[in-house]
A = this chain, B = another copy of it.
Amino acid sequence: VHAFKRPSEEELDHSYLWRTDHHAPARGCVSIFNRSYYEEVLVVRVHPEIVTKYQRIPAERIGSLDEFWEKRYRHIREREVEGYDNGTTTVKFFLNVSKDEQARRFLSRIERKQKNWKFEAGDMKERALWDEYQVAYEDAINATATPNAPWYCVPADDKKSMRLIVAQAIRNEMDKLHLEWPTLSEKETAELGEYKKQLLEELGESERA
């Protein structure tokens, strides 16, 4: 599991897809990203000054902002195609919390002392940009939902239902991989028999039933 927060200076000085790729799963493994490169077309889209001020991308390579987001959608789609062709399927979840439910969750962070540490005033500022975020989510999801790298948009006000839906979706995706236990050759299976005999002898046990 990798949680991606504010990028470091070194990360800002590379392609925005650089830092997440370091945590790409090895063959046979699963990586879970809590936030991801999609922030680069969500929070960054709502605050485009990040591109010029912090990521310092040359103006002539940005073009118009509309072109710029289209370019980023393409980079992301192509990275996910590349991952797929190399054996890694990307599955994306949008946990769709309503504006009222967000208010309730923030309130609980304010009202319950043990949750106070979780409350950030900055979250209130982003909440004020709710409509901008909705447009950013809609555009990003439409532009990057592909058959081999699907988006699951999950109603998330009710956590239990959300978890059930996500678990089922992961199961569906894993079924598509047709995973099988590794099998041994006849020779290797025979050798296992030998090793078993040897180990039982060492333990002074006779052949098991």
Question: Which residues of A approach B to under 8 Å, CB–CB?
Answer: 10, 12-18, 21-22, 24, 26-28, 55-58, 61, 71-72, 74-75, 78-79, 81-88
Contacts and interface: CB of A to CB of B under 8 A. Distances in A.
A189 to B, nearest CB: 22
A57 B87 contact: yes
Nearest to A29: B13
Contact of A17 (B22, B57, B82): B82
Contact of A14 (B17, B26, B85): B26
Contact of A75 (B28, B81, B87): B81
Indicate how many identical chains form the complex.
Answer: 2
The 5 A-B pairs at the shortest CB distance, nearest first, are namely A78-B78, A13-B26, A13-B27, A15-B86, A75-B82
Contacts of A72: 85
A152 B83 CA distance: 29
A16 B79 CA distance: 12
9 contacts: A14-B26, A15-B82, A15-B86, A18-B24, A21-B21, A56-B87, A61-B86, A61-B87, A78-B79
A24 B14 contact: yes
Contact of A28 (B13, B15, B81, B84): B13
Nearest to A12: B27
Nearest to A16: B86
Contacts of A12: 27
A28 B56 CA distance: 10
Contacts of A22: 22
